[in-house]
Amino acid sequence: MSSVPERSDIDEEYKWDLDSIYTSDEEWDAAYEEVAERIPELAAYEGHVTDDPETLLELLETMESVLREVSMVVSYANLRSSEDTRNQEYQAQSARAQALASKARSAVSYLDPELQELDWDDIEAFIEEEPALEAYEHYFDDVLRAKEHTRSAEVEEVLADLSEVTGSPSDIYSMLANADMEFPTVEKPDGESVEITQGNFTKLQKHPNREFRKTVHEEFYDRWADVRNSVGASLKNSVKKDVKTARIRNYETAREAALDGPNVPVEVYDNLLETVRDNLDHLQRHADLKRQAIGADELQMWDLYVSLTGDHGPEIPYEQAKEYIIEAVEPLGEEYQSRMAEGLEDRWVDVYENRGKRAGAFSAGTYDTQPFIMMNYQDDAASMFTLAHELGHSMHSELAQEAQPWHDADYEIFVAEVASTVNETLLTEYLLENVDDDELRMHVLDEYLERFRSTLFRQTMFADFELQIHEIAEEDGALTPDRFDELYGDLKSTYYANAETDDHIAREWMRIPHFYYNYYVYQYATGISAAAAIVERIREEGESAAADYRDALALGGSEYPIDVLQTAGVDMTSPEPIEDAMGVYESFLDEAATLLDFE
């Protein structure tokens, strides 16, 4: 019998409060039908966007009214479907909601191209005649700055029609990696058989038995070798798609095109790669601590995920985790702290695993709802850090939605990971300074250091690989599985110069789905760097720095990401935040070495 309970067996206080959106599925049905009937209102403005300021304002207000209702319908359905993925009724409800959202987006697809028929002088004239349009200045600027990269209506229509085709490399890879591939079954040291999967590979690489880790490593990557030509072809064509799309839109490179979306200068990417490469000695020191922890003469690639603390950590019940996290965010101010505490009591969080519940964790919600956090809490340090992480996202959304109108509340991915990682860093520092239990302190250090390694260094290495393969395509070079192996293996050898690399790890690129996301991964690394710099500034300057940070969160999407972080006192166009993050990493490595009595 499964030890995982049914959802009905979990107390209500540990479930999120979806009644705060709709009190019943019948109420959801009524809301769905009502907003579905309103979508044609949006299509009525096509061809008339720039007729006069009054029409434009009327369209923008109508669009907001409709899309806010759509987002609530979608949010409720998605959250219900996450509670139990076996429930076909809720899966169908979610599918209906997604189709509704797609229909709504299509109904206003004409808006940006028609606005781009204006220039900024025209916009200013519209604002002078209709002052209420001034609230949309950032939106107008974002639309108009893309003007030179927007093609004719005919070309845009063709590109839109081809989107399903151009997305096929990612779709094919996903089906291959997640549906069609079968990995070997291996025997654990206790005699139990376990099938290696994409989902459990990393967990198995943390197993305390080194020989078992080696077996898993080799068996896993040997299986990938069987499909290397298929995966190589899908990645090659994904990269070519990025390059050709960028050229169609008059960008010099695919990277320039990808970073122009959130208006991030290319120098931010270059600073990240260069600064991380200049500080690889810190990563290599972390690797050496792992070597000492397992008592090995040399660190192998199957040792990279091993914990500094062994296999088991102290138990941290959910109520204790809440207490630690609330205390940890005290430097962010009493209002921030009390609002988070109230949210935890007001059922923001769906706490425990139940049968059929979606795996992992996330923070969700809409402009008109409370935040909703999905957890699968396991009474351990990792779960505690995940809760702190998701609460950071939720508080970011709360502050932004309170301060900004609907159209300026959503923020870019570039800043999204900052708030979550600030919470993680504050939690780490609080526990190290206030908890006397050396076992817990060591597990906290190990958890944070591993998150730092996998986010700043690993994601930057991915970003380096991604840049190299795109540059080869842009120079019309050949991208083959052998070339991918060579490039990736060289990067792994550079980053882990004090460890032994092997032919198996050169294939690791094959299992990374993020390489199909077109210059996405670098934002994880910049996010954790900015967060570390912000926490250091708060430690040094106190409330004034905390106020700047809260102001930055409250900006939401009303300014571009670089400017938002400038408000928090962080200049991501310079190497300084990344260098500051390295200083934080180094100090925690020092603490770990002391607790472990290494070096």
Phi, psi dihedral angles at 198 (to 5 degrees): -60, -35
Q: How far is residue 415's CA from residue 292's CA, in Å, rounded to a whole number?
A: 36
| Torsional sign, CA 432, 438, 440, 444 | positive
- 325 by Cβ neighbours in 10 Å (0-12 / 13-18 / 19+) ranks as buried
**Contact call for residues 573 and 562 (beta carbons, < 8 A):** yes
Which three-class secondary structure state does DSSP give residue 202? helix
The catalytic residue positions are: 390
Residue with tokens 């950032």: 138
Q: Please tell me the number of Cα atoms within 13 Å of 345 on its side-chain side.
A: 8
Q: How far is residue 287's CA from residue 295's CA, in Å, rounded to a whole number?
A: 12
Please count the helices (runs of H) and the strands (runs of E) in the chain.
Answer: 27, 7
**Contact call for residues 75 and 369 (beta carbons, < 8 A):** yes
According to DSSP, the residues that pair with 350 across neighbouring strands are 374
Q: How far is residue 243's CA from residue 238's CA, in Å, rounded to a whole number?
A: 9
Q: How far is residue 341's CA from residue 392's CA, in Å, rounded to a whole number?
A: 12
**Contact call for residues 435 and 441 (beta carbons, < 8 A):** yes
Which three-class secondary structure state does DSSP give residue 326? helix
Q: How far is residue 374's CA from residue 158's CA, in Å, rounded to a whole number?
A: 39
Contacts of 278 (CB under 8 A, 6+ apart): none
Q: How far is residue 248's CA from residue 266's CA, in Å, rounded to a whole number?
A: 19
